[in-house]
Amino acid sequence: MGTPHNEAAAGAFAKTVLMPGDPLRAAFIAETFLQDARLVNNVRGVQGWTGTYEGVPVSVMASGMGMPSIGIYSHELFHCYDVDNIIRVGSAGALSPKLKLRDIVIGQGACTDSDYAHQYELPGTFAPIADFTLLETAVAQARRLGVEPAVGNLFSSDVFYNKAGRTLDWGAMGVLAIEMESAALYCNAAEAGKRALTICTISDSLVTGEELPPADRQTTFTQMMEIALKVAVEMAGRKD
Ligand code: HPA
């Protein structure tokens, strides 16, 4: 088996896959949290690892940046590797003045400037939303770890360096943070009849201009990773 982008054998991925954007962060999660982690994919350096966490099989694979990239990898995980749950663990830029650097944001929905959902040829606008079971489990696990996450809309953008400069208009509509992947991930989960959720850590603020250094982005987002791993464990115990 395998796909143009994934050389893993059939059955090499666990039912829940954590997806950071960055391959180095995927390796960091595998090394830091998983037991007996083995590299199952390395096509284009998009590292996929499978190991166990609290005795439960869990995988982690990078998504790359942007909706075309996560669109490919999540489609293949859902359809070719029979993965049930994908939890994106990423960074996001604050659009709300209430958010501080390192705050955790869980994406209940994902607005977008992308045409990704056009492919479904629906007679209207599709609203990409998180899976409610993953969402409520993540909120409960965050609170258990002493974290109160912000929960609400994300804005998944096709553009990082945006000429129009109107991104904060999304903040005025109550959108919490900007990133570049969740709308496509949520669309793919809906199309596949599977579950997806995004948990983000605020790496920068479009409101204040503050930002974390890149090295922090790679290694200091451990709370978000632990929340996602605990969700993976809970999902393994469910029957439905
Ligand atoms: N824009 C888009 N994606 C992001 C940002 C941002 O400011 N920060 C983290 N991911």
pLDDT in tens, the chain (240 residues): 788 888 888 999 999 999 999 999 999 999 999 999 999 999 898 999 999 999 999 999 999 999 999 999 999 999 999 999 999 999 999 999 999 999 999 999 999 999 999 999 999 999 999 999 999 999 999 999 999 999 999 999 999 999 888 999 999 999 999 999 999 999 999 999 999 999 999 999 999 999 998 777 655 689 999 999 999 999 999 877
| pTM (2 d.p.) | 0.97
Backbone angles phi, psi at 87, to 5 degrees: -115, 110
Which residue's alpha carbon is at the smallest distance from atom 2 of ligand 1? 179
- pLDDT for position 214: 78
**177 in Cβ contact with 93 (< 8 Å):** yes
* Lookup: tokens for 84: 């049930």
Residue nearest to atom 10 of ligand 1 (CA): 92
CB atoms within 10 A of CB 7: 14
Q: Which residues are catalytic?
A: 204
- Answer yes or no: is the C-beta of 157 below 6 A from any ligand 1 atom: yes
What is the rounded distance in angstroms from the CA atom of residue 240 to the CA atom of residue 204?
Answer: 38
156 in contact with ligand 1, CB cutoff 6 A: no
CATH superfamily, domain at 16-236: Nucleoside phosphorylase domain (3.40.50.1580)
- Tell me if 178 CB under 6 Å of ligand 1: yes
Token readout for 142 is: 């965050």
Question: How far is residue 212 CA from its own chain's centroid?
Answer: 19
Atom 9, ligand 1: residue with shortest CA distance? 92
Distance from the first to the final alpha carbon of the chain = 27
Taking the domains of the chain in order of start, what are their residue ranges? 16-236
- The CA-CA-CA angle for residues 205, 209, 211, to 5°, reads 65
Cα–Cα distance for residue pair 218/29, rounded to 1 Å: 10
Beta strands at 177-179 and 150-156: parallel, antiparallel or unpaired: parallel
Is residue 196 classed exposed, middle or buried when 0-12, 13-18 and 19+ CB atoms within 10 A define those classes?
buried
**C-alpha 53: how far from its chain's center?**
18
**Best mutation site among 25, 69, 89, 91 for ligand 1 pocket (most ligand atoms within 8 Å of CB):** 91
| Ligand 1 atom with the shortest distance to the CA of 180 | 3
Q: Please choose, from the candidates 33, 30, 64, the residue with its C-alpha nearest in 3D space to the C-alpha of residue 49.
A: 30
Whether 179 lines ligand 1, by a CB cut-off of 6 Å, is yes
Cα of 229 to ligand 1 centre, how many Å? Answer: 23
Nearest atom within ligand 1 for CA of residue 91:
9
For 152, the enclosing helix (H) or strand (E) is strand 150-156
Q: How far is the CA of 11 from the centre of ligand 1 (A)?
A: 33
Pocket lining: 203 vs ligand 1, CB cutoff 6 Å: yes
How far, in Å, is the centroid of ligand 1 from the Cα of 91?
A: 7
Residue 204 beta carbon below 6 angstroms from any ligand 1 atom: yes
Nearest CA to ligand 1 atom 6: 93
Mutate to test the pocket of ligand 1, among 96, 179, 212, 224 (most ligand atoms within 8 A of CB): 179
